[in-house]
A and B are shown apart, each in its own frame.
Chain A
Amino acid sequence: MSDTMTHYERMRAAWNCEVPDRVPYMPMTVYFVARQGGLTIKEFITEPEKFLKAALDGLDFIGDAQHPALNTADHMWMLGHAGWDMTTLDWRIWDEFPPHGNLPSIYEKVLIQDYDDVMERGFSTILFSTALENNIHERSIDDFLYYQFEHTKVWSSVWRRFYDETGIPILIGGRAEHPLDLLQSYRGISQLVTDMYTMPDKVLEFSYWLADYEVMQASREAVTMGAGELPGAENIFFYNGAPPGMPPDLYAKLYIPVAKKMIDAWVARGFNVWCHFDNDQTPHLEGLAGFVDGLPKGRVLLDLEKTDMKKAKEVLGGKIAICGNVPSTLMVYGTPEEVDAYCKKLIEDCAAGGGYILGAECETPWDSKRENVVAMKQAAEKYGRY
């Protein structure tokens, strides 16, 4: 049987918890595409034309399931090239992939010393801190302003061209983080744990304060990327990485209500929200089900990492679309046969009735075997027909 929907139509059907022609596949091939295209990390970050070419080359093995904009619509993403992030966090950025370099990383430390002070005087209190060991305080303010407000436009024009040439939507317009996730970087996980136990109400108050900023900047970014004109730019990628292993009571108090407020705010402004999770959500599925309360259909997607997908389908099926979760170790060390078998099982567990997207666990690792990525794509086509 052949496809009767485009990738975008298929994705929309899945978001709507409807049955598409087949299970969509969404591998999140961020660094992987750059790597396969022979780029260094530096080229990939700073030379849009080269990355555009790598993305076009990637069509050969990923097909139309690419979503190139993910890595460039930027805030707190691995590149750390959004102005705000550059000037407030200890980013270490290498030019090359391992073993000569590494993926960009944030070094956790206690950068926010006093929640009240930051809420009162604003984030500028921690800009260009000399506590950052990346020498950012030596860089010019113009540099910061450019990256904060102008740089996205460069990528926006690149992805518009990508769409014009290929008809493939970009799937992500803006990017935001859950405040608890940001706080992990701004307080360090150990201090954040102390805070959550010794001053939970302050953490919550600060989270709501930060949530407004995140909602605003992601919306702005999505508009710059072309929300309303360029298909997919209306999606906000809402990152929920950390802290890992939250107990359900703390999660219900500090995580869920803030996330819900942000989701509601985006949906009210016409955006869709792609909630991306980095940790096992199995203990929290009931709480996540509440994300769509009071919202029109098809506006929220949950992309789940280490979670028990069968259980997720049981709890969320018919309410919220889910995406996931071929393990990253399998993509790096496994064989195509193993990937195929894993995908088959996922499709059996999750695809019935629609609302499921076959995906990687977080992202397809940069060092995945190419044949494993191909095996995943083929599995969606082979086992995913409705």
Chain B
Amino acid sequence: MGKVSDGIAALDAAAACAAVRADLERGRDPMELIDEARVGLQEVGERFDAGEYFLIELIRASQVFQETADLINPKLTELYGRGESRGKVLIGTVAGDIHDLGKSIVKVLLDCRGVEIMDLGVDVAPPAFVAAVRDFGPGVVGMSALLTAAIPQFRTTVEALEAAGLRDTVKIIVGGGTVIDLDAAMLKADHVASDANAGVDVMLAWLDEAGGASAAN
């Protein structure tokens, strides 16, 4: 840990950004810096898991991380071009449901592990998932729902992917407070996540198995 990761872990945007600026000025490798920022965010994730940090603090940490990443990224692209990604994940809350906090946590956790993410937002209709799978070419699709009434949408969305001939190109994971007791097969998904961390582990294993973004495409 250094000043950047400490700043993120302490939710102190000013300190984290000041440290980034100073490091960049001193000519520190931006790759190293972004890795350090990820460590900070991961630390917050772990404290959240341990019950030391609360949901709002996790959201805030992701904002602070984003602020530092915005400073680091231009330098990163300048020196290295578009970086290596560990793979691509498409994520969204299904049609009829507007709860997005759980999904956003998943996004943050993937982000700090070097995964490229496309977030379709909330109330995402099946055709939008299909179009994004086609255009973005993710290895994994993650869907979230908190309303019991939205649960059938998991299946409907998977069926839309089947109809478009895209089902076999992706692994599908679902999550959200009301789904944890459900059976993946019933939803036509590959996995039902009990919480964000467990889900992220499964997704990373899938991505690593497929050998990163290129293999997933």
In angstroms, how far is the closest chain A Cβ from the Cβ of B61?
10
B98 in the interface, Cβ–Cβ < 8 Å?
Answer: yes
Q: Are B11 and A98 in contact (CB under 8 A)?
A: no
A292 in the interface, Cβ–Cβ < 8 Å?
Answer: no
Q: Are B152 and A247 in contact (CB under 8 A)?
A: no
Q: Are B60 and A367 in contact (CB under 8 A)?
A: no
B181 in the interface, Cβ–Cβ < 8 Å?
Answer: yes
Q: Are A102 and B54 in contact (CB under 8 A)?
A: no
Q: Are A98 and B55 in contact (CB under 8 A)?
A: no
Q: Are A193 and B149 in contact (CB under 8 A)?
A: no
Known: A193-B60, A247-B57. A108 touches B98 (CB 8 A): yes
Q: Are B54 and A283 in contact (CB under 8 A)?
A: yes
Docked CA distance A72–B198 (Å): 41
Docked CA distance A343–B98 (Å): 30
* Residues of chain B within 8 A of A328, CB atoms compared: 148, 178
Q: Are B56 and A332 in contact (CB under 8 A)?
A: no
Docked CA distance A366–B147 (Å): 11
* Residues of chain B within 8 A of A248, CB atoms compared: 54
* Residues of chain B within 8 A of A102, CB atoms compared: 96, 149
Task: Please pick, from A108, A190, A197, A246, the residue contacting B54 in the complex, using a CB distance under 8 A.
Answer: A246
In angstroms, how far is the closest chain A Cβ from the Cβ of B18?
15
Task: Please pick, from A98, A198, A247, the residue contacting B149 in the complex, using a CB distance under 8 A.
Answer: A98
Task: Please pick, from A189, A246, A332, A333, the residue contacting B101 in the complex, using a CB distance under 8 A.
Answer: A189
Q: Are A197 and B11 in contact (CB under 8 A)?
A: yes
Q: Are B59 and A193 in contact (CB under 8 A)?
A: yes
Within 8 A of B (CB), among A10-69: none
Docked CA distance A104–B70 (Å): 37
Q: Name the interface size band of chain A.
A: 20 to 34
Considering the complex, give the chain B residue whose CB is closest to the CB of A198. B13
* Residues of chain B within 8 A of A197, CB atoms compared: 11, 13, 60, 63
Q: Are A193 and B96 in contact (CB under 8 A)?
A: no
Q: Are A332 and B148 in contact (CB under 8 A)?
A: yes
* Residues of chain A within 8 A of B177, CB atoms compared: 329
In angstroms, how far is the closest chain B Cβ from the Cβ of A162?
28
* Residues of chain A within 8 A of B59, CB atoms compared: 189-190, 193
A296 in the interface, Cβ–Cβ < 8 Å?
Answer: no
A80 in the interface, Cβ–Cβ < 8 Å?
Answer: no
Q: Are A98 and B96 in contact (CB under 8 A)?
A: yes
A196 in the interface, Cβ–Cβ < 8 Å?
Answer: yes
A361-383 toward B: CB 8 Å interface, digit per residue (1/0)?
00001110000000000000000
B136 in the interface, Cβ–Cβ < 8 Å?
Answer: no
Considering the complex, give the chain A residue whose CB is closest to the CB of B48. A245
Task: Please pick, from B58, B148, B150, the residue contacting A329 in the complex, using a CB distance under 8 A.
Answer: B148
Q: Are A333 and B60 in contact (CB under 8 A)?
A: no
Q: Are A247 and B56 in contact (CB under 8 A)?
A: yes
Task: Please pick, from B11, B123, B148, B152, the residue contacting A365 in the complex, using a CB distance under 8 A.
Answer: B148
Q: List 24 A-B contacts (CB under 8 A).
A: A98-B150, A102-B96, A103-B147, A105-B98, A106-B98, A107-B98, A107-B123, A189-B59, A189-B101, A190-B59, A190-B104, A193-B59, A194-B63, A243-B56, A244-B56, A244-B101, A245-B57, A245-B101, A250-B56, A328-B148, A328-B178, A333-B181, A365-B148, A367-B149
The 10 closest A-B pairs by CB, nearest first: A245-B55, A98-B149, A247-B54, A245-B54, A102-B96, A193-B59, A332-B148, A245-B56, A246-B56, A247-B57
